[in-house]
Structure 1
Amino acid sequence: MMNSTPIVFVVDDDISVRESLELLIGQAQWRPQLFESAQAFLAHPRSLVPSCLVLDINLPDLNGLDLQNAMAGDRPKIPIIFITGYGDVPRSVRAMKAGAVEFLTKPFDDEVLLSAITDALASSRAALEREGDLRALRDARATLTPRENEVLEMVVAGRMNKVIASDLGISEITVKAHRGKVMRKMKARSLADLVKKVTQLAPPPD
């Protein structure tokens, strides 16, 4: 069975920082995974359990802000906690605007970091649950027949059964039967719930 313990990734080129954070993270009953460079982290496969990234903003190759940009398309659901040895206000503002959950200046209090990690992992867990729910909705929609899909689109558009029947050239009883199958397959409790589910499946606007 896959280890479901939350993972805290650490990317920092300072081995002493990595070792101290490894100990702190382990004591909190999370699973630390350490990297000395941004490239090494990007080469690691995506995690399927709640996770977050503790990221040094000053790295010798690809810096922390560049890694944050790279992750925006590849791993957007991993919350980032930036750490830095310099009080860099412009870069901290840039990092937070790009979605970082925290920006800490070294040396930072262990409890402050642990609190930030706790919040980040809760956010990651919620994102993974939403992703799982959306995957289940897509799978359910894929089980609908072409006719059931036609009825679904008309139902969520607010069309009455008799109008749908007329447009599709079928009886109203047949429309009701298709509608019932759609509700069951989509696990919708009501029309409002069905509309909500279909809305969730709609692609985001450009």
Structure 2
Amino acid sequence: MLHIVDDEDVIRDALAWLARSRSINSSSYESGEKFLISLDKNFHYDVDGDCILLDVRMSGLSGTTLFEVLASKQLTKRLPVIFLTGHGDVPMAVDTLKRGAFDFFEKPFNDNKLMDRVEEALALSRQAGALAAVHERLASLSAREREVLDLILLGKMNKVIADKLGISMRTVEVHRAHIFDKMKVKTAVELAGLLK
């Protein structure tokens, strides 16, 4: 999902049209405040990734201030930000990029180059989302399941795991089944691939 945050109707409409031309879903916000309200109330990460096109200068909450809020909440990996400005300068662009912005475009911009960067940002967001999901699944494992997981990843057989941990083979099988279920895999090979 492309989130367009700009206080000009014409710009929001044009960017939404550009997104549609690349089959990218978008939502528009006329202010940073409205985007933050949406983020707090009913925001769900899109499985296809998320990206924010953010105008630097808006009335009320500026784009740079909104970016600082997102960065302080550590959201800029899942929500990469591409700044848009008609009044940009080199120091501002360098500063925002150093602080973690994905890119910075001055208006008028090349439509294709902008949308290429949006697609790259969406891909980065998808990767970050997949990684976050794996970490959530890992966090759901018990301490014993983590021990069994580590030994599975070393290629150890159930009998060896049971001997090493001082538990029965049946208990290892139960832990193994729980691990596979929680990690949403069917085989040790899939598990290893997920955690590489």
Instruction: Give the TM-score normalised by the residue count of structure 2.
Output: 0.74
Residue identity matched to 1:178: T
CA 1:99/1:74 → structure 2, altered by over 3 Å: closer, same or farther?
A: closer
Residue identity matched to 1:26: R
Distance 1:118 1:153 in 2: 35
Distance 1:116 1:154 in 2: 38
Residue identity matched to 1:27: S
Is the aligned partner of 1:55 residue 2:49?
no
Residue identity matched to 1:18: R
Distance 2:14 2:146 in 1: 59
Alignment of 1:16-27 (within 5 A): 16-27=10-21
Shift of 1:154: 9.4
Distance 2:61 2:53 in 1: 15
- Greater RCO (Cα-Cα under 8 Å, separation 6 or more): 2
Instruction: Give the TM-score normalised by the residue count of structure 1.
Output: 0.71
Residue identity matched to 1:67: L
Structure 1: where are the runs of 5+ without partners?
Answer: 1-6, 201-206
Q: Counterpart in 2 of 1:75?
A: 75
For residue 188 of structure 2, give the secondary structure of its aligned residue in structure 1: coil
For residue 43 of structure 1, give the secondary structure of its aligned residue in structure 2: helix
CA contact (8 A) 1:9 1:54 kept: yes
Distance 1:153 1:121 in 2: 31
Is the aligned partner of 1:183 residue 2:176?
yes
Alignment of 1:8-23 (within 5 A): 8-23=2-17
CA contact (8 A) 2:7 2:30 kept: yes
CA contact (8 A) 2:3 2:52 kept: yes
For residue 10 of structure 1, give the secondary structure of its aligned residue in structure 2: strand
Distance 1:36 1:65 in 2: 15
Pick from 24, 29, 46 the counterpart of residue 30 of structure 1.
24
Residue identity matched to 1:46: F
CA contact (8 A) 2:81 2:101 kept: yes
Distance 2:15 2:146 in 1: 55
* Equivalent pairs, count: 176
Instruction: Answer with 79-88 or 179-188: which moved more.
Output: 179-188
Alignment of 1:1-206 (within 5 A): 7-44=1-38, 45-49=42-46, 50-72=49-71, 73=73, 75-76=75-76, 77-139=78-140, 141-142=141-142, 148-149=144-145, 152=148, 164-165=165-166, 174=168, 176-187=169-180, 189=188, 193=192
For residue 133 of structure 1, give the secondary structure of its aligned residue in structure 2: helix
CA contact (8 A) 2:149 2:176 kept: no
RMSD of aligned Cα (Å): 3.1
Shift of 1:26: 1.8
CA contact (8 A) 1:84 1:106 kept: yes
For residue 25 of structure 1, give the secondary structure of its aligned residue in structure 2: helix
For residue 16 of structure 2, give the secondary structure of its aligned residue in structure 1: helix
